[in-house]
Structure 1
Amino acid sequence: MKKANIIFKDNTPFSLDFDDFYFNSKDGLNESKYIYSEAFEFTQEDNFVIAELGFGIGLNFFLTLKRFLKSTKRPKKLFYISIEGFYIEKEFLREIYKKLGFYDEFKEYLEEFLKFYPKCKKGYYRFYFKDCFLDLVFSDINVLNDLEFKADVWYLDGFSPNKNKEMFDEKLVFNMARLSNFKAQVCTFSASSFLRKNLEKFGFETKKVAGFKKREMLRAFFKGYLVKDKEAYFAKIDQKAKNKKVAIIGSGICAALLAYELSLRGFDISIFEKHSSLGCGASGNESGILSSLILKPNVSLGEFSQESFIEASRFYRQILNLSFDGVFEFAHNDLMKQRFLSQKNNPLFAIKDNQAFLEDGGVIDPKEIVKTLFAKSNAKIFFNHQFISYEYANDLFSLQFKEAEKKDGFGILIYALGSDAKDFINYDGMNLSKVRGQVTHLKPVLDIKYSLSSKGYICPIKNDIQVIGASYDRLDDNLTPKDLDDKENIEKVSEFLKDKNIAIIGSKVGFRSYSSDRFCIVGAAYDEQFYKINYKNLLWTKNKEQNFGKNIPNLYLNFAHGSRAFGTSILAARYICYLINKEPLGFFKKFVPDIHPARFLIRNLKKGLL
């Protein structure tokens, strides 16, 4: 990630990278309002999406947010996605606003933004404001290939075309067409014929209008352009739900995060849990650790783990006001030492002497997080409701339970079953494991500020308990704690407990769901027979454009998060919200084939195994 080279000229930010001003040196606020934030009309639908090329100092966003919040005729939710290739340090951002005399006007929103401002690292970062989601993408403009949304308005704000040509070229405009709703409006200061020709080539109708203190500028409106997909079997398929009543089976962290995110979008959530209280499964431990896998660069599992980790950390800090002291990860074999060495320049990992300090991670209270998220979502929780099956008729779900009355009238059903998923899902090639994990409770023995993770992990003392863990057993389904597992847990953290008097005061057993490739399984439940028939020739046609898949209507899956559900569940929740709503995906689309439920079947079809 490049850092922006900025100086002040005429009391205005000036880019040394592009030899150009960020905006009008005399009247920047009114220029931004005229060209961008007040140049279109909001609709009064559920969601409205604005895409910006060139976040800069964020002025367009803050002006748009203020207008949105003051408007009486506006959508229920605003999604604002902005791409920026040059990082500005947060202290300097604040200084810029003060020098420009804008600070007091935007202080409330700017300080909230800066509080959760990410490190100088390429990535996809979501910020939560009232009725508004800001997705700030740190990357070069080619990242558009890896994004998924449908914009209602575009802000093209990337310096002038002769200074920054790739911000207006054919590849970019092609992606704009791919990512536009019909009649999407393009706002730009430019009147360049180069830009105009590219817009018209890809389905945008253009016209010239009066510019801000200049003769003219372009406006454009999207009229349509057909774009096909080689991996259409993983693409979103719009599904109309009859109502906004959602039934979620399960009450762990996956369900809790889903309930919260869906509640922000106006859904009515019902949770069905087979036990008599929260916290009976793996999400009910006394303590846990939020951390990330450290694998070699460009390994998809490691990249997904990192993205999940940092966004989970930022979510818990933004929404639950949590703070993290950090976690130490130790490389305990030669392979891990090589992985750590390969990540020595990663801003998320402070690596030295075969250990990594992740300042954005640390100890969590699983039970409290789940409880608080359900409370914030206003979800109705039905305990002692062991799900058996469903019926689907007239676009509505009716749910059957063991020894409890059926519940009906749901437009959407989501399986967040955890380890029980294995009993309900029988897709070809989807091999699920139900893994037993036992944590051990020690009498406080090690006074540490940071969580420590090596072969096993040890958490800081909490409520006169120190949690260590965890065992891993695919073959045992016994809920009763075992002395042998306690001994194994102690052995795994023995490097931290040398010469300590250890007293075991309890244990807890939980079960987790794993997939065969270690990625979670999240997305729409697909029509397996349709996939087998329509993609049977993938061995020969995998590099050709494909037709869209077919789903089981309004049924979604969210499980197999293994031991890292408190990290990966936030991206999973975003994905399901994207599938249900008209909103941005919320992370890089390259990860969709890694987590899509049909991936196992598609891999086999590509190999000619079916």
Structure 2
Amino acid sequence: MTTHAVLEWRDGLPYSTQFDDVYFSASPDQPQHGLAETRHVFLQHNELPRRWQALPVDKTSHFVIVETGFGSGLNFLATLQLWRQYAPAAAHLHFLSIEIAPFTLQDLQQAHTHFPELAEFSQALCKQYRLLQPGINQLELAEFSTSLTLHIADTAQVLPELNVMADAWFLDGFSPSKNPDMWQSPLFDCMARCSRPGTTFSTFTSAGFVRRGLQGAGFHVEKKTGYGAKREMLAGQWQSTANKQPVTLPKVAVIGAGIAGSSSAWFLASLGCEVHVFERADKIANGASGNPRGMLYPRLNAEKPMNDQLALRSYSFSLRHYANLGLNPDGFKTCGLLQLGGNTREQKRVHKVAARYDHLGLLTQVDATQATTLAGVPLASDCLYFAEAAWVNPSEACQAMLAHKNIHVHLQQDIHALSRQEASWQLSTATETHAGFDAVIVANAAEAGKLLPDSGMWLNPVRGQMGMVATQAALLPLKKILCGEGYLTPVHDGMHAMGATFAAGDVDTSLREEDNQSNLNMIRNLSPQFDQAETAEVTYARAASRCGSPDYLPYVGPLLPISSLTASASPEFADLPVSKGLYVHVAHGSKGLMTAPYCAAVLARRLLGDFELPLPQLTEDTFWTGLHPQRHLFKQLGWKHLLNPFNDPMPS
């Protein structure tokens, strides 16, 4: 579970009772002492102004800072301020920080009141600082071209698995005498493994064993003048005779302009890649992503760890993502959702899920009386309440993402063949060819099976029909989304969205009156009050085919050549053939609106890592391999050991 920092406020300053130390220092005579110390120790002695001014102005460049100890976020805010002052507009800052006990939002805001000149940056951070979960949290501050990757975990847990190339290290956290567990060889070994020619570090401490540890790991270390009463500090650079190699961002083709393809394109484009999206229809979001409403909430069962992990990570990530897109009131609305325990089996699931996940702060269990008060209509069972749940207009979300300046959309392009010519990919329609792509992401749902017939993926189509009904007296009081066998939204512009039917294996998308009636019957089962809605009229309906997988997990990742896979060996993942730029992002089923943005962000960074740009990753290797598009083939070959799904639903 997420354990927040236990603070005492001494003279208005945050003090850690766990580590018996201050987060930053200040005095009536020097109210900016903590900020001045940050600038001296971390910004000046990593030579950030000079290095950022030297970044190329004509192309996207990436700068990675790794920090041990996020604390009050003061280092991050000061870095943001300096980044905006000195970095080129096209550059992107990646700030990775590890924190075992994060501040609550209220404590964070209170701490930042000491530094009014950072108010703009504090507001941007605090807007994103919500729904944090144990493990990796990604906060995007697009207005500053900055990504904050916040690991809520012990450094001893994170450092051995860290896969990134840092340009600078902020060795913060509490002093070695207060927090000796952090200042050990795993830290220094990780720094050596994750540094490149020119990587720098700085730290407020000058402890001898820290200096010797850094030197033993291969760093050139110098003693520098500390700040204020602190006589000395340490700073230095990774000792390497190799040259820092320039990185060229790949040109990427994405096939499919639904929520998976649009998200994939957007996250790559936001990292500086040129992206071309190919869609066979004459408009984007033509499939299931074209529905006017989609619900954003996690369906949990407390029995399938990998599925619950994906749902929980995607939920918090995607809520932040859609909020950042700046959609209009018709495109995104947070209104909360009540998931009903309508029968004995569902009641058991509600209680089991609440017992396992209530501590995360994403959901609470409420009884029928409480649920009735929240919903505004009578409910008859215990429910799971997701206060932050929302509905999204998927089509508008796709439009907003594909409007990125680095994305080029090509409609009425039915890609029927892929081929690799020398070092690049070629996409072919019946009449023309598109060439020169370094990588391809296939994100066209069930059509991926036709394009990649030898992929080893099992794709299951599922028909669904949703509708809209005009409000009436029985429906109007509804204040929260209700979700049971189907869903019903509160009134918006005089209408409620309802749905959706579920017909496995059915790909027919013609409208059916029996499906409208099924959705209306579903509404009446949600609340006794809705029995009065006898005259509810379906004013709009839409049917689409979703694409899923046998284990209800999406297929996300590189596609390996099957011809090179044999059942005779029991390889490790590193032993498998390397994908040459072909990736898959499909099979989200009915949860793509929530899971696709998270998976797209994960895929974008993994893809760039394959092209020699190892940015901070958004998921662990074990989780990533559990989404592999050929995982069912691996199981057939006897390679279950490659998948390593998490045993625990959430890391503690």
Q: What TM-score, normalized to structure 2?
A: 0.83
C-alpha change, 1:323 and 1:464, in structure 2 (3 Å) is closer
C-alpha change, 1:53 and 1:362, in structure 2 (3 Å) is same
Equivalent positions of 1:459-608 (< 5 A) are 459-496=489-526, 497-501=530-534, 502-530=536-564, 532-533=565-566, 536-538=568-570, 547-581=574-608, 582=613, 583-606=615-638
Secondary structure at the residue paired with 1:278?
A: coil
Match of 1:55 in 2: 70
Match of 2:129 in 1: 117
In the alignment, the residues of structure 1 paired with residue 404 and residue 445 of structure 2 have an alpha-carbon distance, to the nearest angstrom, of 22
In the alignment, the residues of structure 2 paired with residue 134 and residue 504 of structure 1 have an alpha-carbon distance, to the nearest angstrom, of 45
Equivalent positions of 1:370-385 (< 5 A) are 370-377=398-405, 379-385=407-413
Secondary structure at the residue paired with 1:572?
A: helix
Q: Quick one: which amino acid aligns to residue 365 of structure 1?
A: N
Among 351, 358, 361, the alignment partner of 2:365 is: 351
Q: Quick one: which amino acid aligns to residue 341 of structure 1?
A: A
In the alignment, the residues of structure 1 paired with residue 300 and residue 188 of structure 2 have an alpha-carbon distance, to the nearest angstrom, of 36
Secondary structure at the residue paired with 2:447?
A: helix
Match of 2:423 in 1: 395
Q: Quick one: which amino acid aligns to residue 67 of structure 1?
A: L
Residue 412 (str. 1) matches residue 424 (str. 2): no
Match of 1:263 in 2: 269
Among the aligned pairs, what percent are the same residue?
26
C-alpha change, 1:516 and 1:147, in structure 2 (3 Å) is farther
Q: Quick one: which amino acid aligns to residue 6 of structure 2?
A: N
The question of whether the paired residues in 2 share the 8 Å contact of 1:435 and 1:472 is answered with yes
In the alignment, the residues of structure 1 paired with residue 138 and residue 100 of structure 2 have an alpha-carbon distance, to the nearest angstrom, of 14
In the alignment, the residues of structure 2 paired with residue 176 and residue 222 of structure 1 have an alpha-carbon distance, to the nearest angstrom, of 9
Match of 2:280 in 1: 274
Equivalent positions of 1:219-230 (< 5 A) are 219-223=235-239
In the alignment, the residues of structure 2 paired with residue 11 and residue 503 of structure 1 have an alpha-carbon distance, to the nearest angstrom, of 59
Match of 2:146 in 1: 132
Match of 1:230 in 2: none
The question of whether the paired residues in 2 share the 8 Å contact of 1:297 and 1:303 is answered with no
Equivalent positions of 1:114-513 (< 5 A) are 114-119=126-131, 121-123=133-135, 124-129=137-142, 130-141=144-155, 142-145=157-160, 147-213=162-228, 214-223=230-239, 244-296=250-302, 299-320=305-326, 322-332=332-342, 333-337=346-350, 338-353=352-367, 354-377=382-405, 379-402=407-430, 404-427=431-454, 429-445=456-472, 446-447=475-476, 448-496=478-526, 497-501=530-534, 502-513=536-547
C-alpha change, 1:600 and 1:93, in structure 2 (3 Å) is same
Secondary structure at the residue paired with 1:86?
A: coil
Which segment is superposed worse, 147-156 or 119-128? 119-128
Count how many residue pairs are aligned between Structure 1 and Structure 2. Answer: 585
In the alignment, the residues of structure 2 paired with residue 107 and residue 408 of structure 1 have an alpha-carbon distance, to the nearest angstrom, of 48
In the alignment, the residues of structure 2 paired with residue 585 and residue 360 of structure 1 have an alpha-carbon distance, to the nearest angstrom, of 25
C-alpha change, 1:90 and 1:273, in structure 2 (3 Å) is same
Match of 1:231 in 2: none
The question of whether the paired residues in 1 share the 8 Å contact of 2:124 and 2:141 is answered with no
Q: Quick one: which amino acid aligns to residue 234 of structure 2?
A: L
Secondary structure at the residue paired with 2:358?
A: coil
Q: Quick one: which amino acid aligns to residue 600 of structure 1?
A: H
In the alignment, the residues of structure 2 paired with residue 330 and residue 198 of structure 1 have an alpha-carbon distance, to the nearest angstrom, of 56
C-alpha change, 1:427 and 1:400, in structure 2 (3 Å) is closer
Match of 1:67 in 2: 82
The question of whether the paired residues in 2 share the 8 Å contact of 1:277 and 1:383 is answered with yes
Ranges in structure 2 where 5+ consecutive residues have no aligned partner: 241-245, 368-381, 643-652
In the alignment, the residues of structure 1 paired with residue 90 and residue 467 of structure 2 have an alpha-carbon distance, to the nearest angstrom, of 50
Q: Quick one: which amino acid aligns to residue 352 of structure 1?
A: V
Secondary structure at the residue paired with 2:334?
A: coil
Q: Displacement of 1:422 after TM fit?
A: 2.1
Q: Cα deviation per residue 1:240-274 (whole Å; 9 max; x = unaligned)?
A: 99874322111101122222222222323322111
Q: Cα deviation per residue 1:430-457 (whole Å; 9 max; x = unaligned)?
A: 3221222222333335222321111111
Secondary structure at the residue paired with 1:408?
A: strand
Q: What TM-score, normalized to structure 1?
A: 0.88
Secondary structure at the residue paired with 2:325?
A: helix
The question of whether the paired residues in 1 share the 8 Å contact of 2:440 and 2:583 is answered with yes
Q: Displacement of 1:94 after TM fit?
A: 2.5
Q: Cα deviation per residue 1:38-63 (whole Å; 9 max; x = unaligned)?
A: 22243626111101111111111111
Ranges in structure 1 where 5+ consecutive residues have no aligned partner: 225-239
Q: Quick one: which amino acid aligns to residue 538 of structure 2?
A: I
Match of 2:373 in 1: none
Match of 1:80 in 2: 95
In the alignment, the residues of structure 1 paired with residue 249 and residue 21 of structure 2 have an alpha-carbon distance, to the nearest angstrom, of 51
